Structures are given as C-alpha cells and as structure tokens.
C-alpha cells in the first residue's frame, strides 16, 4: 500500500500509449548511459538512451544496447563496431566514460523489429551518422535542420 494523499488525477495529463517510431532517420542526442549485467550474468552491456530532438516525435526516446562484455566474441565485435560508429558520429574518438557521448547531436537510423517474446513491434537503433553542421542533416540530406540544443533535455 502506498500513500497517494495530495495526488489529483484531474490536474495531470494521462500517459499516452506510445507506438514505436516509424522507421527512418532522426536527429537525436544520447541523454543517459548505463552499464548493466546481461540476463545470464555472464556479460555486461552499455544501454544508451537517445532522445529525438525535432519533428513530430520530438521528445520521444529510443534505446540501444551494446554487448561490450560477453562470452560471445561476435557479440562483442558488433558492439564495438556500433560504439565506433557512435564515437565518430559525435566526434569523440577516445571516450574515457560514456557520459562524454551525451548531448551531442547525431543522426540515428531507427528500424522496426518484431519482438520474440510477444510479437509486438519495437524500435531498434541500427545506424549512427554525423550531423551535417551546416544544415543539421545527415550526410545523405535526411533528418532535420534544427540546431543542437545548448542545454541538456532534462534542464529545458
């Protein structure tokens, strides 16, 4: 049991049922990063939280998991390649801590994937690109023209 004294639902907008984002390219920033153990406890992954910066999905979040410590060397290699892509996209080639990758705009490619556990569709980040500084777009011209925010999303 929890004390909810003082809460009035009529003063708070109800939560929305968020459908997955459509597949596409989005201007985003990493707002959070955390190292977590894998389900079997034999490895560790880096979970990255990306916030979309503009367009109709501004403010929405997507996540990526990089298996940087895993008994499967292929999983580790793939995670290292993804991390290399992220580092190149944000211009931080030798981060000492994942926080160094935060709040630097980049273009992410989001795909839709069917979940194995329940068959629902979910998002998966499948690509990372440097934002074109002159236009705000990805090198191929997609994404947005919004400039990078000067303050982190949680302080706006």
User: Percentage helix, strand, coil, to 5, in the chain?
Assistant: 20, 35, 45
For residue 104, is it within any domain? yes
pLDDT at residue 109 greater than cutoff 90: yes
**What integer pLDDT is reported at residue 152 of this predicted model?**
54
Q: Where does the pLDDT of residue 145 fall: very low under 50, low under 70, confident under 90, or very high at 90 and above?
A: very low
The string of pLDDT tens digits covering residues 58-94 is: 999 999 999 999 999 999 999 999 999 999 999 999 9
In whole angstroms, what is the distance from residue 19 CA to residue 32 CA?
A: 21
Q: Which of 122, 82, 111, 74 lies closest to 98, judged by CA? A: 82
Residue 57 sits in a domain whose CATH number is 2.40.50
Looking at the predicted structure, is the pLDDT value of residue 7 above 60?
yes
Q: What span, in angstroms and rounded, lies between the C-alpha atoms of 143 and 136?
A: 8
Distance in angstroms (rounded) separating the CA atoms of residues 76 and 40: 16
Task: Indicate whether 156 belongs to any domain.
Answer: no
Contact yes or no for 98/48 (Cβ under 8 A): yes
For residue 66, being part of any structural domain is answered with yes
Q: Which domain holds residue 122?
A: 19-139
Number of domains in the chain: 1
Q: Does 7 reside within a domain?
A: no
pLDDT (mean) for 94-122: 95
What is the pLDDT, as a whole number, of residue 14? Answer: 84
In a domain, 24, yes or no: yes
């Amino acid at each position: 049991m929890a004390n909810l004294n003082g809460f009035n639902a009529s003063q708070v907008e109800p939560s929305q049922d968020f459908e997955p984002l459509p597949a596409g390219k989005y201007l985003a920033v990493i707002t959070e990063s955390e190292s977590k153990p894998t389900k079997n406890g034999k490895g560790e992954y880096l979970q990255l939280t990306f916030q979309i910066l503009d367009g109709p999905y501004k403010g929405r979040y997507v996540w990526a998991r990089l298996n940087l410590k895993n008994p499967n060397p292929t999983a580790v290699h793939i995670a290292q390649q993804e991390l290399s892509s992220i580092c190149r996209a944000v211009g931080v080639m030798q981060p000492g801590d994942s926080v160094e990758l935060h709040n630097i705009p980049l273009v992410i490619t989001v795909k839709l994937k069917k979940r194995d556990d329940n068959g629902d569709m979910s998002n998966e980040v499948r690509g990372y690109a440097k934002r074109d500084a002159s236009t705000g777009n990805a090198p191929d011209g997609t994404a947005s023209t919004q400039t990078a925010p000067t303050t982190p999303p949680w302080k706006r």
